Amino acid sequence: MDLSAETLSVGLAWFAVFVFSTTLHEAAHSWAALQLGDPTAYHGGQVSLNPLPHIEREPVGMVVIPLISFFMYGWMIGWASAPYDPSWAARHPRRAAWMALAGPAANLLLLLTAGAIIRAGMMMGYFEPPERISFQSITTATSLGIPQAAATLVSILFMLNLVLFLFNLMPLPPLDGSGAVPLVLSDQATRRYQEFMYQPTTRLFGLIIAWMLFGRVFSPILSLALRVLYPEVTYG
């Protein structure tokens, strides 16, 4: 296990971005649910950008697993959740669908913000396209110090939120994309779908399948995102 100062500083950047991104994701779910008639998450303190209520609800997914995954693989993975009233979701499946989409929408907002910061940094001469793309090197600083730290942070912000946005949108339970499916179903089909979606085995297999398929989805979307971010550069 590498515990050098550089590794620890990168790990701190990862953790800060992970906690912020996950907190915004869950706060968006909670806020949308409140606006649409379910105050469950609001009463649990999740309609907040304070990460503590979210960490208290899922300490393993928001602290333990992210730290373990970083020291094992060099990047962070984890999870969080926001409570909601299943009876409300059953009565109002389309409202619940919009609530489900609010989390990925928050990640999309952070992704676009990171891209805008990178382009602005390039215009001001602080950033430049990297020779090789990685999780923490979507952009490169033109000098050491603050620009270098900023490049690492914004690179992680871009890549992590691209992952969170795409993975959560996959239409497989228990991911957010599966919760949005009732928007295109009839009422009768929605009821059958909800019964199927909430079965424990369905959720387990859905998560396994999503993990197996994600690489095929992620690679072409990352290539497209890089072409938009750096239209003047070609990455193989």
Give the mean model confidence (pLDDT) for residues 179-201.
Answer: 89
User: Of all residues in the chain, what percent carry a pLDDT higher than 90?
Assistant: 87
Q: 55 in a domain, yes or no?
A: yes
The predicted structure's pLDDT at residue 172:
93
Q: Which domain holds residue 119?
A: 5-229
Is residue 102 pLDDT above 70, yes or no?
yes
pLDDT in tens, 29-81: 999 999 999 999 999 999 999 999 999 999 999 999 999 999 999 999 999 99
Residue with more model confidence, 52 or 234: 52
Say which residue, 7 or 40, is predicted with more confidence: 40
Q: Is residue 235 part of a domain?
A: no
pLDDT at position 194 is 86
Q: What is the pLDDT of residue 173?
A: 92
234 in a structural domain: no
Measured between alpha carbons, how far is 168 from 129 in angstroms, rounded to an integer? 28
The pLDDT of residue 112: 98
Q: List own/partner pairs for 44-50 with CB under 8 A and 24 or more apart.
A: 44/82, 44/83, 46/82, 46/83, 49/23, 49/24, 50/23
- 155 located within any domain: yes
Whole-number pLDDT of residue 2: 65
Number of folded domains that form the chain? 1
Determine, yes or no, domain membership for 60: yes
In the predicted structure, residue 1 carries a pLDDT above the cut 60: no
Of 59, 3, 16, 7, nearest to 150 (Cα)?
16
- What is the rounded distance in angstroms from the CA atom of residue 194 to the CA atom of residue 191? 5
Q: Residue 235 above 90 pLDDT? A: no
236 in a structural domain: no
CA 148 to chain CA mean position, Å: 24
The mean of the pLDDT values for the chain is 94
